[in-house]
Amino acid sequence: MKIMFLGNSHTYYHDMPEIFRRICLERGKDVDVTMHAHPDKSYKWHLAEMSELRFALMHSGYDYVILQQAAHPGPSKEETLRDAKTMVEMAKGFGVTPIQTMPWCEKRLPEHQEEMYDIFETVSEKYDVKINPIGRIFEDITKNHPEIDMYWIDGEHASPYGAYANALSTYATIFGESVKGISPKAINNMTTTEEEYKIIKEAYKRAGADPDNKALQDEALDIWNKYAAINEDKEAIEVVLDSDKVAIIQEVVDKYAL
């Protein structure tokens, strides 16, 4: 089975598609995973890069494409419906089954989750596409199990627990199987500290206050690359999550994804 993950940084943080692949391997499923994910990019951007997307869907023999729209902030409902329709119809036209990922809201703005439910449940109903309900899983765990931090240090991207939950939810959505008992193994390739993130925020605040100042823009990017670069050490990024927290996550994933 071949699966493409298409999206943005919410897709690639902590190598989420690789966590998914390893879950499949553990469950005896031979799955080949690839990823088309670029930071801050929406469906509109991916559609503009039509040569890449068209070629992959037409010629690469994919069985599924997992769609992740931009978020925090995301495009309007109108834009998302328009571009999701094109994505879904293209995938189905080439014999690829699309699955829409339900985004999670910013940690500091839980009220945004209802807007996301409205947008992506409309996508599901209008275009007959199945939803990976990770947004509902984030909301449930954040409200009812605050000891499990689903968010990375910025309060927007997934933590290793959040990425693990997303991989589990994707698995359950595709295969219709309980995820209970899956190993608590994940990936943590973003190890920025609180102090380092504070430095990053201050640099981007300076750059945002003077957007025409190329030196400040370059400085902010250099600081990001210094303190938030993705770890390239394959062994160092391997992590084992707390088994009690993982058991809770698996319970909640089964609740929404099955």
Pairing state between β 2-7 and 32-37: parallel
Tokens for 125, please give them: 């109903």
The per-residue pLDDT for 80 is: 98
Element (H, E) at 66: strand 64-67
The per-residue pLDDT for 49 is: 86
The per-residue pLDDT for 64 is: 98
Tokens for 98, please give them: 């699309």
CA distances (Å), origin 79, targets 67, 75, 82, 84, 86 = 15, 6, 5, 8, 11
- pTM more than 0.85: yes
Quickly count: other Cβ atoms within 10 Å of residue 94's Cβ.
16
The per-residue pLDDT for 195 is: 96
CA distances (Å), origin 20, targets 14, 42, 64, 109, 171 = 11, 22, 13, 28, 7
Amino acid at 41: K
Per-residue pLDDT tens, the chain, 258 aa: give them. Answer: 999 999 999 999 999 999 999 999 999 999 999 999 999 999 999 999 888 899 999 999 999 999 999 999 899 999 999 999 999 999 999 999 999 999 999 999 999 999 999 999 999 999 999 999 999 999 999 999 999 999 999 999 999 999 999 999 999 999 999 999 999 999 999 999 999 999 999 999 999 999 999 999 999 999 999 999 899 999 999 999 999 999 999 999 999 999
Report the alpha-carbon distance of residue 70 to residue 10 in Å, rounded: 8
